Amino acid sequence: MLDVLGNLERSHTCGELRASDVGSQVVLMGWVAKKRDFGVFTFIDLRDREGVTQVVVSEETAAEAHAKAKNLRGEFVIAVKGEVVARDEGAKNAKLSTGEIEVKVGEILVLNDAKVPPFQLEVAGSENLASEDTRLKYRYLDLRRPQLQQNIIMRAKAVRAIREYFDSRGFIEIETPILLKSTPEGARDFIVPSRIHTGKFFALPQSPQILKQITMIAGLDRYYQIARCFRDEDLRADRQPEFTQLDMEMSFANQEMAYREIQGMFNHVLKLIDVELPAVWPRITYAEAMRRYGSDKPDLRFEMELVDLSDDLRDTDFAPFADTLSNGGEVKCIVVKGKADYSRKQTDELQEFVKRYGAGALAFIKLGDETSSSLMKVLGEEKIAQLVGTSGAEKGDAVLIVAGKKSVVAASLGALRNEVARREDLIDRSKYACLIVTEFPMFEHDEATDTYVAAHHPFTSPMDEDLEKFKTAVNDPSQHHLLGEVRAKAYDAVINGYECAGGSIRIHQQDIQALNFKALGLSPEKARERFGFFLDALEFGTPPHGGFAAGIERTCMILCGTENIRDVMAFPKTASAQDLMMDSPGEVDVSQLTELGIQVCE
RNA sequence: GGGGUCGUAGUUCAGUUGGUUAGAACGCCAGCCUGUCACGUUGGAGGUCGCGGGUUCGAGCCCCGUCGGCCCCGCCA
């Protein structure tokens, strides 16, 4: 039999009461987290968003409430009226913020009962949680876990801090439409059929890129938005089909101004976890990042830089190295401190790891009591010693070597660097290493089609220094390959190896925009068809402008110290892009499809 | 699209070389207990070994297929 709430209001939350409240009459409401029954009295851990308070019900002083307490089960919703009493010295619980006190209950109202949860919210050992699919199906129960609640609260604080920052800097929050027009470049669009215009479709924004640029053309000067974005691509531990980004754009901007806002925003947000980032972040060019770390988003919480061994190996006739070097490839290594004792099994595992990135093999040199190497037979002791010297490795270290195309060496050793750091626990979790990566390439070469595609997006401005090269490459077909050397006014912000933000200074001149479309192999007709409205807008006095977008989830992952994006979203989807709680996506009525003029074929 | 890994009680897991009645912990149910907070204690219930097929005298275990979770590569202007 349930009780009614009536006019009763709670006086405190379950995380609020302290020793100073002893003697007060209070009303608490929450969920039964735990019950410990001692016959003549019963302890209940009462939980709400703010914490847990122990309440005690005694048969002697509150017979009716005690009888009710007998029938309480986990996750029942109750209200208790009672007095705050101090706990005896030995009975205090240092693990609870409310552990100095307990509430001596006079009356209990059972506001609702609950089925036995399909999994335990709190498990001893805490990492023995139920499997993720079970928890996702019952997301509302999983969200009752204090850890997840803290993450969701932290996310709200982060978004508030972002708004504080941009409001204080004269930016205007502007909402852009969710129903847009599909542009076939880039990620796959989520498509929304139009009933009124049968056979036509909206697309959900992958980002509000063009619209925010148009707010600059409109003279709004400084824009920001907490923007939901949608990309119909496969998921990852840090990627969901819908996600949120802080999107910002400003007029009359150069790179320095953009860096200032990136730094200012993140520095303000990281204060939420008492982390002080430098006022001016370290900077590195894309080329240098790739050379030293094999990644455009290096984790700088640890060293282990890549070392180039190519020059030492130009005189070798060992085919895997000789062929690689004569074909423009390279041989590089990382040095793992103190890991000369890597076993065959471990180096095999690491070799399997780098093969995923296209590496043919992983060679090693182990500087144990004796030097051993997978290359000893083919290169000889002298050459091995030379490589060790170049690598900077010392006795006790392991040298891990990959040869191949530059892109493969970077990808595999860059990933291996992270993997080894993770395995060997080289990462100081209390550190926050931030970085701005500059001078991204303007284009990426697509080997399959021998074409160049925009590395960032087609409105990114080339660097002034590379403008002549850009013009030459576009206008002289024989110089087309120079496109690969053109750098863009594009930049990323990286914290702890996560790409947290990315942006660029945009093209505001029509002639350069036209050149860029030509470089991308987009005819004027095609460009007009896809971006006509935007090209029109560019002709009406576009100010120089630029900006960036920051991933809210990735930022929150750093704030919350988690490596899983689902930990910072209230209602995430699985790796196969389904929502297990509502079982979406789902089928729709035939009548709905008919109305839209849509037929599903096999 | 490809690869790896996992799937056994409500949950987390163990399960030997293919061999009797598939186990443990937590949770759940019933009782006892005056200070617990991972309460203790006594007893109890609870299984389509993801699903389908095959091999075998016999399959949780071997083989094939399939579904699902997680991770990775491709993909993500």
Q: How far is it, in rounded angstroms, from Cα A560 to Cα A89?
A: 34
Q: How far is it, in rounded angstroms, from Cα A183 to Cα A457?
A: 12
The pLDDT, as a whole number, for residue A128 is: 75
**Which residue carries 């910072």 as its tokens?**
A568
Distance A134 CA to B13 C1' (A): 16
Mean pLDDT of chain A: 94
Beta strands in A328-478 (DSSP E): 330-336, 363-367, 371-373, 398-404, 434-438, 443-446, 451-454
Q: Which among A1, A548, A11 is positioned nearest to A250, based on CA atoms?
A: A548
Residues 323-362 of A with CB under 7 A from strand B: 356-357
User: Helix A510-519 crosses helix A467-475 at what angle (to 10 degrees)?
Assistant: 50
Could you tell me if A522 and A506 are in contact, meaning their C-beta atoms sit under 8 angstroms apart? no
Could you tell me if A255 and A504 are in contact, meaning their C-beta atoms sit under 8 angstroms apart? no
Chain B bases closer than 7 A to any CB of the protein: 1-2, 10-13, 26-29, 32-40, 68-77
Distance A235 CA to B2 C1' (A): 15
For the CA atoms of A97, A98, A100, A104, the dihedral, rounded to the nearest 10 degrees, stands at: -170
Q: How far is it, in rounded angstroms, from Cα A468 to Cα A487?
A: 12
Residues 242-301 of A with CB under 7 A from strand B: none
pLDDT of A123 strictly over 70: no
Residues 394-423 of A with CB under 7 A from strand B: 411, 415
Distance A350 CA to B13 C1' (A): 28
Mean pLDDT of A436-462: 91
Distance A36 CA to B40 C1' (A): 10
Nucleic strand B under 7 Å from the C-beta of A22: no
Report in angstroms the alpha-carbon separations of A94 from A87, A91, A577. 12, 10, 42
Distance A271 CA to B54 C1' (A): 62
Q: Which residues contact A91 (CB under 8 A, 6 or more apart)?
A: none
Dihedral sign computed on CA atoms, order A77, A83, A86, A87 = negative
Q: Which two tokens stand for residue A133?
A: 């699919």
Burial of A386 (0-12, 13-18, 19+ CB in 10 A): middle
List, for residues A515-570, the tens digit of each pLDDT value: 999 999 888 898 888 888 999 999 999 999 999 999 999 999 999 999 999 999 99
The pLDDT, as a whole number, for residue A526 is: 87
**Which residue carries 């009763």 as its tokens?**
A8
Give the strand pairing for A283-285 and A434-438: parallel
Nucleic strand B under 7 Å from the C-beta of A165: no
List, for residues A359-397, the tens digit of each pLDDT value: 999 999 999 999 999 999 999 999 999 999 999 999 999
What band does A450 get if pLDDT is binned at 50, 70 and 90? Answer: confident
The pLDDT, as a whole number, for residue A368 is: 94
Nucleic strand B under 7 Å from the C-beta of A209: yes
Could you tell me if A280 and A267 are in contact, meaning their C-beta atoms sit under 8 angstroms apart? no
Rg of chain A, C-alpha, whole Å: 30
The pLDDT, as a whole number, for residue A271 is: 98
List, for residues A33-91, the tens digit of each pLDDT value: 999 999 999 999 999 999 999 999 999 999 999 999 999 999 999 999 999 999 998 89
Distance A433 CA to B6 C1' (A): 34
Q: How far is it, in rounded angstroms, from Cα A31 to Cα A113?
A: 10
Query: Which contiguous run of DSSP H or E holds residue A90?
Result: none
Could you tell me if A450 and A422 are in contact, meaning their C-beta atoms sit under 8 angstroms apart? no
* Minimum-distance residue to B39 (CA–C1'): A36
Which residues, listed in sequence order, are joined to residue A51 by a DSSP beta bridge?
A: A48
- Region of residue A39 (phi > 0: left; psi between -120 and 50: alpha; otherwise: beta): left
What band does A134 get if pLDDT is binned at 50, 70 and 90? Answer: very high
**Which residue carries 């392991």 as its tokens?**
A398
pTM across the whole model:
0.94
Nucleic strand B under 7 Å from the C-beta of A574: yes
**Which residue carries 């006095």 as its tokens?**
A541
The pLDDT, as a whole number, for residue A124 is: 55
Helix, strand, coil shares of chain A, percent, nearest 5, are 35, 25, 40
Q: How many residues does chain A have?
A: 602
Nucleic strand B under 7 Å from the C-beta of A576: yes
DSSP state, residue A584:
B
DSSP-based three-state secondary structure for A72: coil
The pLDDT, as a whole number, for residue A363 is: 96
User: Helix A255-270 crosses helix A146-168 at what angle (to 10 degrees)?
Assistant: 140
Could you tell me if A262 and A437 are in contact, meaning their C-beta atoms sit under 8 angstroms apart? no
Rounded to two decimals, the ipTM of the complex is: 0.93
The pLDDT, as a whole number, for residue A1 is: 77
Q: How far is it, in rounded angstroms, from Cα A47 to Cα A52?
A: 4
Nucleic strand B under 7 Å from the C-beta of A448: no
Least confident of A8-12, A157-161, A422-426: A422-426
Nucleic strand B under 7 Å from the C-beta of A156: no
Q: Which two tokens stand for residue A553?
A: 């989830």
Phi, psi (degrees; rounded to nearest 5) at A488: -110, 160
CA A553, A209, A436: angle at the middle one, nearest 5?
A: 55
**Amino acid (one-letter) located at A226:** I
**Which residue carries 């996310």 as its tokens?**
A155
Mean pLDDT of A252-281: 98
- Region of residue A50 (phi > 0: left; psi between -120 and 50: alpha; otherwise: beta): alpha
Distance A423 CA to B77 C1' (A): 34
pLDDT of A493 strictly over 70: yes
Mean pLDDT of A306-332: 94
Nucleic strand B under 7 Å from the C-beta of A215: no
Nucleic strand B under 7 Å from the C-beta of A92: yes
Q: Which among A496, A498, A497, A516 is positioned nearest to A506, based on CA atoms?
A: A516
Beta strands in A422-512 (DSSP E): 434-438, 443-446, 451-454, 490-495, 498-505
Distance A425 CA to B4 C1' (A): 22
DSSP-based three-state secondary structure for A331: strand
Which residues, listed in sequence order, are joined to residue A400 by a DSSP beta bridge?
A: A334, A364
Closest nucleotide to the alpha carbon of A34, via C1'? B37
The pLDDT, as a whole number, for residue A445 is: 87
Which residues, listed in sequence order, are joined to residue A53 by a DSSP beta bridge?
A: A46
Q: How far is it, in rounded angstroms, from Cα A545 to Cα A213?
A: 8
Distance A584 CA to B25 C1' (A): 35
Q: How far is it, in rounded angstroms, from Cα A506 to Cα A458?
A: 9
* Minimum-distance residue to B41 (CA–C1'): A38
Q: How far is it, in rounded angstroms, from Cα A368 to Cα A388?
A: 12
Q: Which among A4, A23, A27 is positioned nearest to A14, based on CA atoms?
A: A27
Q: Which among A585, A566, A582 is positioned nearest to A240, based on CA atoms?
A: A566
* Minimum-distance residue to B40 (CA–C1'): A38
Mean pLDDT of A450-468: 93
CA A560, A566, A571: angle at the middle one, nearest 5?
A: 120
The pLDDT, as a whole number, for residue A451 is: 85
Could you tell me if A374 and A363 are in contact, meaning their C-beta atoms sit under 8 angstroms apart? yes
Nucleic strand B under 7 Å from the C-beta of A548: no
Could you tell me if A562 and A155 are in contact, meaning their C-beta atoms sit under 8 angstroms apart? no
What band does A419 get if pLDDT is binned at 50, 70 and 90? Answer: very high
Residues 298-327 of A with CB under 7 A from strand B: none
Helices (H) and strands (E) in chain A, counts: 16, 22
Nucleic strand B under 7 Å from the C-beta of A45: yes
Q: Which among A538, A459, A540 is positioned nearest to A503, based on CA atoms?
A: A459
